[in-house]
Amino acid sequence: MNWEILGIWLGAAVTLCLYSFLYRDNPFYKFVEHLFVGMSAGYWVIYSIYNVLIPNWWENLFPADGGFDAIWLVPGIFAMFMLARMVPKVAGLSRLALGMIVGTGAGLNMVTFFQSNALAQVKGTMISVAAGSVWEVFSSLVLVVGVVSGLVYFFFSKAHTGFVGRTANMGITILMVAFGASFGYTIMARLSLLIGRCTFLIEDWLPTIPAMLGLGG
């Protein structure tokens, strides 16, 4: 049996079953949907064991050169605490493990996130609007006016009337342009996936049909 061709046919069958939903909901779609969920769950369990637990924990607990490193029991115990959620009597233990995860994440991100996503962005907005070519000046003006009017739109301590109202309207217009750009990119992303599947069906699957039907080729 040619396993490569079998794989291609399986891929094609699953793809067509999924796309059949575009016509209407049907048992083929349901079957593949459930197949995907089940396979994903199984795949991740095995993947986590062999690529996360064993190399990062088990092999440290029992090093290759023999012995036993007891300190690695600590993360093991905390990992067990996570599973404690399934036993109501000791469910509270999971909070210890979650607390450690949240604490580490917050501590790590507190300064860096603020630096990268707030301070650096504010700094990037503080630019001269009178430097460079005509296009650069226009671009800088759009940036500054866009940021200020966008912020005014989210300023609710003053009624959006008069000058504030007009600025807020400009802000919502800028936001709509941003949403439009984002929507356009989303369409491009989704079409790219469709193109990927169609290319697979046309260039990989279709040429195997004559061979499967015994027509040569």
Partner 1 sequence: MANFFQKIGDLDRRVIFLLIALAVIIPITTDLIIPNIVGAEPSRDMFDYVDALPEGSNVIVSFDYDPSTMPELQPMAEAVVRHLFEKNHKVIGTALWPQGAALGQHAMSTLADSLGKEQYVDWVNLGYKTGGAVMIVRMGTSIKAVFPADRDNVPWEDIPMLEGINSLKDIQLVISLSAGDPGIIAWVMMAGDRYGIPIGGGCTAVSAPQLYTYLQTDQMVGLLGGLKGAADYETLVGIEEGPAVKGMSPQSIAHLVIMMFIIIGNISYFSRRKGGAR
Decide if residue 40 touches partner 1 (CB under 8 A): no
Distance CA 2, CA 4 (A): 6
Of 112-141, binders to partner 1 (CB under 8 A) are 112-113, 115-117, 120-121, 123-124
The position carrying tokens 């603020």 is 114
Measured from the CB atom, is 2 or 186 closer to partner 1? 186
Decide if residue 73 touches partner 1 (CB under 8 A): no
CA 174 vs. chain centroid, Å, equals 26
Residues 24, 180, 135, CA angle at the centre, nearest 5°?
155
Residues 35, 41, 76, CA angle at the centre, nearest 5°?
170
Q: Which of 2, 30, 186, 217 forms a contact with partner 1 (CB under 8 A)?
A: 186
- Based on the number of CB atoms within 10 Å of its own CB, is 111 exposed (0-12), middle (13-18) or buried (19 or more)? exposed
| Smallest distance from partner 1 to CB 58, Å | 14
Q: Which of 86, 188, 213, 215 forms a contact with partner 1 (CB under 8 A)?
A: 188
| Smallest distance from partner 1 to CB 159, Å | 30
DSSP string across 93-157: GHHHHHHHHHHHHHHHHHHHHHIIIIIHHHHHH---TTSSSHHHHHHHHHHHHHHHHHHHHT--S
Distance CA 4, CA 155 (A): 59
Decide if residue 176 touches partner 1 (CB under 8 A): no
Decide if residue 22 touches partner 1 (CB under 8 A): yes
Q: Which stretch binds partner 1 (CB under 8 A): 2-10, 50-58, 85-93, 166-174?
A: 50-58
Decide if residue 203 touches partner 1 (CB under 8 A): yes
| Smallest distance from partner 1 to CB 198, Å | 5
Q: Which long-range contacts (CB under 8 A, 24 or more apart) does 155-159 make?
A: none
Decide if residue 194 touches partner 1 (CB under 8 A): yes
Binding site for partner 1 (CB under 8 A): 22-23, 47, 51-52, 56, 104, 108-109, 112-113, 115-117, 120-121, 123-124, 143, 178, 181-182, 185-189, 191-199, 202-203
